[in-house]
Amino acid sequence: MLQFHAFCSRVSAPANYHALENRDTYSDHLMPSLKNASLLVIEGRYAEIPSFALDLQKKGFDVHTAQNGSQAVSRLKEVSPSLVVVNAASLRSTGLRICQSIHEQDAKLPIILILESDRRVDKDAADAVLALPFTVQKLVNRIKPLLPGDGKNVVHVGPVRLDVERRRVRCLGKSTKLTPRLVTLLRMLMDKHGEVVERDNLFKKVWETNYTGDTRTLDVHISWLRAAIELDPDNPKFLKTIRGVGYRLDI
């Protein structure tokens, strides 16, 4: 279906498509910074309306799709996207209800709303509102400034997305500000996800000390991380305690 939509997008492009493409293009050497950016693209099945999911994937984004608002809301926790694209034109709607539903789940999640040329909505409905026709490059140009950390210094493992620069973690629809020490701790666990990381090694590197006589403060910090990334911190699904050894991030 994505390939069919991409084809329709190309054949229905306006005559000045290439002129617009050149005007909106920024240097391709910037594209690798987008590889960690996860997008949730909500698109319907109207063939005459351009689809952007496949083209955004080709631009280097990690693209996930949903065909309606309810499906999109249910996928938020699974995907933990950096940004949502609501192609309301392909849904024959204004997309307002979808935007509201998404913001009820995560008020800080950026949204780009795509409308048909004859639709009008309040600009506050989304972080950016685009009216067809436009090029995929113009869409990319609107996406990039809205990404966490501008798409740089973002570590993504499973549903956990850590913005190292802004010290913010997003997981299962939650966005939480972290202390510098929590960022370092989570980064270590993410780098070795699926492996047991020994308590002493974590403590030495995160606290920058060789003293490991009392590491109870590590347990406190682990509990804070669980509160940030787990649905039920008391029964963690991701951040597991390996008794007598250390911790493992199961993702």
Looking at this protein, which amino acid is placed at residue 110? P
Please, are residues 238 and 160 in contact by the beta-carbon 8 Å criterion?
Answer: yes
Please, are residues 222 and 197 in contact by the beta-carbon 8 Å criterion?
Answer: no
Distance from C-alpha of 194 to C-alpha of 60, rounded to nearest angstrom:
26
pTM for the complete prediction? 0.56
Report which of 234, 233, 240 is spatially closest to residue 197, judged by C-alpha positions: 240
Distance from C-alpha of 186 to C-alpha of 222, rounded to nearest angstrom:
9
Region of residue 150 (phi > 0: left; psi between -120 and 50: alpha; otherwise: beta): left
The position carrying tokens 């204004």 is 94
Which domains can be identified in the chain, with CATH numbers? 2-151 (3.40.50.2300), 154-249 (1.10.10.10)
pLDDT in tens, the chain (251 residues): 444 343 333 333 333 333 333 333 333 333 334 556 789 999 987 767 788 999 999 998 999 999 999 999 999 888 888 899 999 999 999 999 999 999 998 888 899 999 998 888 887 889 899 999 999 999 999 998 888 765 567 888 888 889 888 888 988 777 889 999 999 999 999 999 999 999 999 999 999 988 878 889 999 999 999 999 999 999 999 999 999 999 999 98
